[in-house]
Amino acid sequence: MSFFFVDLRPMNRSATHVVTEFILLGFPGCWKIQIFLFSLFLVIYVLTLLGNGAIIYAVRCNPRLHTPMYFLLGNFAFLEIWYVSSTVPNMLANILSKTKAISFSGCFLQFYFFFSLGTTECLFLAVMAYDRYLAICHPLQYPAIMTGRFCGKLVSFCWLAGFLGYPIPIFFISQLPFCGPNIIDHFLCDMDPLMALSCAPAPITECIFYTQSSLVLFFTSIYILRSYILLLRAVFQVPSAAGQIKAFSTCGSHLVVVSLFYGTVMVMYVSPTYGIPTLWQKILTLVYSVMTPLFNPLIYSLRNKDMKLALRNVLFGMRVHQNL
């Protein structure tokens, strides 16, 4: 997608200093703090890759998990690997860098992938809520509706809609005049810091971008909320306590992930952020972009018996293989 962000900015600003790179301040501090943060984020990144990779491997290799729910979960884990990789590797390099610079094109590429993957995650969470709703509220029709082909179409829709929604608005943002300063008080290229550095206001572009992001968050969150209201109503109508517990166990983990992700994202992109200190904006961004992909494997494996058993078999199988 790099062709979207070639430097085609107008030449009528040649008399002024044209920004060719940005400075990401990240988390300022002494060298010891930087080393601590580097070690912390590196461990989180490695654990995120291992945890989500284990889920993908378990879903792929365990025949018991070849169901629509785990097919979606495996694709969601794959998405989380890419989502965290859109920010953390550059953040690690930035911590060790003396200049803390990122190129103009690199900044907007990160901006594009970060928002596209985030949008894809919102759509995946809505699709997973739809899957749980069908499984619990319409169990007899579920096998006929959630076929492998239909699941493949849903997954394809999530990826395509997530990545085709932002090239045009981000392209127009990249064409705004950036003539200095070029310092971004964040650890990634985000909308608010970039718009603050633009030399000319762009209310229409900004309005379109935030409207699009808000609509995605609003409609997916409303749909997820509606699905869980109907789902909980169906669960409470189950006569046996064991049936209720089983139903809660299959959707409880998904509800925890949804609450963690949407809670922090809406604070950042729906509510006004001008009253939130910069440090807290960074921490909130860390929660939904770095910590949520880390917690997802733990949440799904600890609250789901089938996934817990599959991961245990994966680890046990690896140990047996190493001993042989």
Q: Residue 196 has what pLDDT? A: 86
Q: How far apart are CA 64 and CA 47, in angstroms?
A: 25
- Tell me if 237 sits within 8 A of 90, measured CB to CB: no
Q: Residue 320 has what pLDDT? A: 45
Phi (first) and psi of residue 21, to 5 degrees: -155, 160
Q: How far apart are CA 130 and CA 254, in angstroms?
A: 11
Q: Residue 268 has what pLDDT? A: 77
Give the pLDDT confidence of 173-199 residue by residue, as tens digits. 999 888 878 999 999 998 888 888 888
Mean pLDDT over 133-144 rounds to: 89
Q: Which is more confident, 249 or 280?
A: 280
pLDDT class of 263 with cuts at 50, 70, 90? confident
- Tell me if 1 sits within 8 A of 167, measured CB to CB: yes
Put residue 26 in one of left, alpha, beta given phi > 0 → left and psi -120 to 50 → alpha.
left
- Tally Cβ neighbours within 10 Å of residue 22: 23
Q: How far apart are CA 7 and CA 49, in angstroms?
A: 33
Residue with the two structure tokens 């733990």: 298
Identity of residue 53? G
Identity of residue 143? P
Task: Of 173, 169, 146, give the one whose Cα is nearest residue 215.
Answer: 169
Token pair of 90, please? 């550059």
Integer angstrom CA distances of residue 191 from 13, 63, 175, 215, 273: 23, 43, 14, 16, 11
Identity of residue 292? T
Indicate the pairing of strand 183-184 with strand 101-103.
Answer: unpaired
Residue with the two structure tokens 């859109």: 86
Q: What is the pTM of this model?
A: 0.86
For 21-308, CATH number out of 3.90.105.10, 1.20.1070.10, 3.40.50.150, 1.20.140.10 equals: 1.20.1070.10
Integer angstrom CA distances of residue 48 from 13, 58, 106, 295: 44, 15, 24, 8
Residues near 33 by beta carbon (within 8 Å), at least 6 away in sequence? 27
Helices (H), 146-240: 148-164, 167-174, 191-197, 203-236
Q: What angle do CA 217, 85, 127 make, to 5 degrees?
A: 35
pLDDT class of 242 with cuts at 50, 70, 90? low
- Tally Cβ neighbours within 10 Å of residue 104: 20
Token pair of 167, please? 């090239």
Q: What angle do CA 179, 270, 188 make, to 5 degrees?
A: 45
Give the pLDDT confidence of 205-233 residue by residue, as tens digits. 888 888 888 899 999 999 998 988 888 88
Q: Where are the domains of the chain?
A: 21-308
Question: What is the maximal distance between C-alpha atoms in the chain?
Answer: 76
Indicate the pairing of strand 21-24 with strand 101-103.
Answer: antiparallel
Give the pLDDT confidence of 30-42 residue by residue, as tens digits. 889 999 999 999 9
Is the backbone peptide bond immediately before 181 cis, with ω within 30 degrees of 0?
Answer: yes
